[in-house]
Amino acid sequence: MEPPTSSRLNSRKRRKDGSGPNGATEPDGIPPKMSRRSFGLREPAPFSDEVEIDYSKPYIRVTYEEAMRGTPLDRPVRVYADGIFDLFHSGHARALMQAKNLFPNTYLIVGVCSDELTHNFKGFTVMNENERYDAVQHCRYVDEVVRNAPWTLTPEFLAEHRIDFVAHDDIPYSSAGSDDVYKHIKEAGMFAPTQRTEGISTSDIITRIVRDYDVYARRNLQRGYTAKELNVSFINEKKYHLQERVDKVKKRVKDVEEKSKEFVQKVEEKSIDLIQKWEEKSREFIGNFLEMFGPEGALKHMLKEGKGRMLQAISPKQSPSSSPTHDRSPSPSFRWPFSTKTPPSSPANRARNESTITYDISEDEED
């Protein structure tokens, strides 16, 4: 069952109103993620001399308006872009992408100049022509590659390859005695401008290599290249080897410093842990000491209990109250009235009195 038409119209309207500069639907300008599928081709682009062209059909150029409206599938807009493409980089790929997306139905032909033309008009290249042909062949936006492309485009060349438009950046390209080699193309209304990618070019890459030449020379010597292959003198070779050894020593010293820092850090962490444990144990020890030997500690109570037991063991047991007393009343003695002297006693009485006195003294000693 199909969804209502009004909801579909509303969703289309929201996508149209909320689209960003690159067709994004999010407010922050980030394009929506695409479904996972293969967009690339499985084979490299063919060379122009390997492609058959049906010359039975007349060559009639399409206008810019017709190209923008869209052409039939069997009649794509044939766009031509040329260059040196030395050290093929992202700036080259972006330029070819723009050329491929100039019109809804585009067939992109890319011309690559030969070594002879490039060395005569521009200068020496890092990659040879076969390497540059192969690099352009494997760009996903290219449909056909023209080898040994001309430096200046002629009407005969445009007619041979049935080219409708020529894509290049709009900056005048002065070469081969001309202020702009694309001037006649612009006057004929066949020029389609593209934008250069700032910050990346073959000249920039070569400048980086020349600037850091020593670094790359040392790296390649370390990887097994000979000094002869790198065009390095004997003295420079020895200098690079010495610098390599110095760098290795520096790296080792740096590694040792890092390891020592890690070791010191670990020791500090462990010392902090030990100090914390020592503080905890010291607090525990002090608490136990005060609990044992403090004013109200367990030792005081133990001493009190021991002292009480010792006193109880040393002191004699008290006699019970029902037992007879040891106190005896002294024997009655007769005294003369109004006389401090005892009366004279007979020998028998004297002996009795002495015995009584002796008994009393013994009783006092016992008391």
Q: What is the pLDDT of residues 217-276, one digit of tens each?
A: 888 888 888 888 888 888 888 888 888 888 888 888 888 888 888 888 888 888 888 888
- Which of 1-5, 146-150, 204-208, 277-281 has the least mean pLDDT? 1-5
pLDDT in the model for residue 75: 92
pLDDT band at residue 136 under the 50/70/90 scheme:
very high
pLDDT in the model for residue 133: 97
Could you tell me the CA-to-CA distances from 214 to 209, 218, 219, 232, 305 in Å, in that order? 9, 6, 8, 10, 93
- Which of 102-111, 216-225, 281-290, 336-345 has the least mean pLDDT? 336-345
Q: Considering the chain, what percentage of its residues have pLDDT values greater than 70?
A: 74
Average pLDDT, the chain: 79
Average pLDDT over residues 206-211: 92
Long-range contacts of 214-218 (CB under 8 A, 24+ apart): 214/240, 214/243, 218/243, 218/244
Q: Are 192 and 167 in contact (CB under 8 A)?
A: yes
Residue 283 pLDDT exceeds 60: yes
- Which of 34-38, 103-107, 179-183, 283-287 has the least mean pLDDT? 34-38
Instruction: Name the more confident of 124 and 179.
Output: 124
| Cβ-proximal residues to 272 (8 Å cutoff; 6+ apart), any chain | none
Average pLDDT over residues 285-313: 76
Q: What is the CA radius of gyration of the chain?
A: 60
> What is the C-alpha to C-alpha distance for residues 294 and 347, in angstroms, rounded to an integer?
75
pLDDT in the model for residue 362: 43
pLDDT band at residue 19 under the 50/70/90 scheme:
very low
**146: part of which helix (H) or strand (E)?**
strand 144-147
Average pLDDT over residues 39-50: 85
pLDDT band at residue 30 under the 50/70/90 scheme:
low
Could you tell me the CA-to-CA distances from 94 to 191, 202, 215 in Å, in that order? 18, 14, 30
pLDDT band at residue 12 under the 50/70/90 scheme:
very low
Helices (H), the chain: 5-17, 64-69, 90-100, 115-121, 129-137, 155-160, 183-187, 202-211, 213-222, 234-293, 298-314, 347-366
Residue range 311-359, pLDDT digits in tens = 778 876 655 555 555 555 555 554 545 445 555 555 555 555 555 444 4
pLDDT in the model for residue 286: 82
Q: What is the pTM of this model?
A: 0.59
pLDDT in the model for residue 4: 42
